[in-house]
Amino acid sequence: MLLVKRIGFWAAWPALYFYLSLSERSRILIINNDRMLLVKGRWSWLFGDTSYGLAGGGIRRGEEPKSAAVRELAEELGLRAETEELHFLRKTQIRQQGLTYTAQLFALKIDQTTEFHRQSSEITEARWVAIAELDTLAVKPEVLIALQAWSQSTPLVQ
């Protein structure tokens, strides 16, 4: 099975390279007290990647990055948010598996425990993780970049 995944990755790599390098993505760090919401995407198997990432997706042509983030939250997890609730963290280049894409990183701080329901097949797993336990998990670079930007802009636990 690993061989099939590797062949699939290398067969798709050129198309993914051009697609990702020409598009921008939104990623949302969702914080609830000392926990964060992490997800695994459906396409991760193609890369042989079992790490957790942030919710989010592509920014459509002409779409504001915050609006894209709000749309993706609703599409993927059934979470409702307003663009005013999102805190811009930074725009950055993410490099993973030899692929590079531009990501607009946002944070959404929620005070109550929010139920989420996977709305699409894009997300295969979603779970709350204690920030203190993050080093025990395999996470995508976007998670660490967003968490560092968040910690520089506001205390993690209030």
Res 45: pLDDT: 54
Nearest CA to 42 out of 30, 31, 34, 50 is that of 50
Residues 78-104 pLDDT 10s: 899 999 999 999 999 988 767 788 999
Res 73: pLDDT: 93
Pick the more confident residue, 1 or 60. Answer: 60
Residues 26-74 pLDDT 10s: 999 999 989 999 999 876 655 567 889 999 999 999 999 999 999 999 9
Within a domain: residue 19? yes
Give dist(CA 130, CA 94) in Å, integer: 23
Q: What range does the domain containing 102 cover?
A: 2-153
Within a domain: residue 59? yes
- Count of CB atoms situated within 10 Å of the CB of 45: 16
CATH number (domain holding residue 37) = 3.90.79.10
Within a domain: residue 91? yes
Tell me the whole-structure pTM to 2 decimals.
0.81
- Residue 20 has, within 13 A of its CA and on its CB side, a CA count of 18
Total number of domains in the chain: 1
Within a domain: residue 158? no
